[in-house]
Amino acid sequence: MSQSERLVLATRYRLVSEIGQGANGTVWRGHDDLLDRAVAIKELRLPADLSEDDRVVFYRRTLREARAPAQLRSTSIVEVYDVVIEQGRPWIVMELIESPSLEDLIERDGPLPPERVAHIGRQLLTALEEAHRSGIVHRDLKPSNVLLDGDRVVLTDFGLAFSSGSVKLTKTGHFMGSPAYVAPEVAAGEKATPRSDLWSLGATLYAAVEGKPPFERENVMATLSALANEPPPPPLRAGPLAPVIDGLLVKNPTRRLTHARAADRLERALNGPRSARRAVPAAPRYRLMIVIALVGATVASCGIGATALIVGMMREKPGPSPTQPPPKTDGSGEPGTGTPSGAQTATLLVRARGDGCKIFVSVPGSRLTVLTDETLAKGDARKYDQPKLTAVLANSAACDVWINGEHKPEGRPGERRTYTVDRSPTGGTADSGTGG
């Protein structure tokens, strides 16, 4: 047994066994003998070459790490119980969460499903909202500081947290934070704000669905250079989570998603697919069709206009099956070449010309109905006949697209392209495409 393991802090906190080590110290499994409960104890080791001024800064940062979460009341933020000074260095006593971090899970399982990441993101956003309302900016949100305790998601490690009422503890010229997850404005030397934390949330969600952060490079300087000069690469596996990630990774903080808008998009990502899975065929309905025909005529010296208003009841037919059997041939039996059968009559047809054709197709409305969220194998195709559709292609260069029989231009590698189609009786026949 080591000397540390024999320690009892403040006559009540007994060290039991080592859980893990980091650059600044060790985390121990402990036991609070007074309250008879298990605790986690973070032992912070001071570098031997610290000056007296640096030592004071270190102690202040330790107290800040303890005070920041102690001021907050959220199940998504680790609970701090006590701070003890023993053997000339600080120890933080907190709740014991014996669960893997998000980083552990990514390293073990690779990219996570978008629905699970949306759940993680929603709880992290709740934790950030609680912190930001109290004037606390975390400044170091990343997968290793996110613990997954069953359905509970816990934000930890407030060592770099900044409160609007605290003094600045970072030396000029010292970079604090994790380069792969830090916001561009903070990397450029500006003060961290709540929107900086929202960027870090976006980078964390990106890492969870893609398996690595958006700007990770071979070293710190290359990472910071990419962060400053390159656009965020589009997430290819995010599915309905893509609008959230894209909105959080906007480099201009004034145009970045707010808490409220991020929460709204996360709710859509969580509820959209589930509502689609629960959808059942609706009974036949009748809707009021109002058709306005404008008839214009010109007579010698004046213009005469006539308007006819036709009002009728029209039975709405049940919609076709969300996805049809994938047409893989052009009618000649050769897969993936020419124009697939059905392309001339379908509202939308998408065929994978190569690997990585990721599609997300939905029917817009008061409740989003998701028809498809998948990556097509080369040569596979999907056909849709619904009059109103929205289609998002994560990598448009890998997909061939026909809308109302018209073949759309090829996209660029990695380009995310969105098509909105409306050929309903009230909407006319139209489509629009946007790239990003």
Q: Just list the catalytic residues.
A: 140
Q: Which of 322, 417, 433 is nearest to 369 (CA)?
A: 322
In our burial notation (b when 16+ CB lie closer than 10 A, e otherwise), range 93-104 reads bbbbbeebbbbe
Q: 259-278 and 194-210 are packed helices; what angle lies between their axes, rounded to 10 degrees? A: 30
Q: Which of 215, 124, 178 is nearest to 186 (CA)?
A: 178
Indicate the residue type of 390: T
* Rounded Cα gap, residues 302 and 93, in angstroms: 89
Looking up tokens 């030592």, which residue turns up? 55
In our burial notation (b when 16+ CB lie closer than 10 A, e otherwise), range 213-243 reads bbbebeeeeebbebbeeeebebbbbbbbbbb
* Rounded Cα gap, residues 431 and 383, in angstroms: 16
Instruction: Tell me the β-bridge partners of 372.
Output: 361
Contacts of 255 (CB under 8 A, 6+ apart): none
How many whole angstroms from its chain centre is CA 206? 6
Q: Which of 192, 83, 98 is nearest to 140 (CA)?
A: 192
Q: For the chain, give the longest Cα–Cα distance.
A: 109
Does 42 count as an annotated binding residue? Answer: yes
Q: 194-210 and 102-109 are packed helices; what angle lies between their axes, rounded to 10 degrees? A: 20
Strands of the 430-435 sheet, one edge to the other: 369-376, 357-363, 388-393, 417-422, 430-435
* Rounded Cα gap, residues 181 and 325, in angstroms: 42
Contacts of 21 (CB under 8 A, 6+ apart): 27
* Rounded Cα gap, residues 121 and 148, in angstroms: 12
* Rounded Cα gap, residues 239 and 269, in angstroms: 8
What tokens were used for 41?
Answer: 């104890």
* Rounded Cα gap, residues 351 and 51, in angstroms: 65
* Rounded Cα gap, residues 196 and 190, in angstroms: 10
Binding-site residue ranges: 42
Binding-site residue ranges for ATP: 42
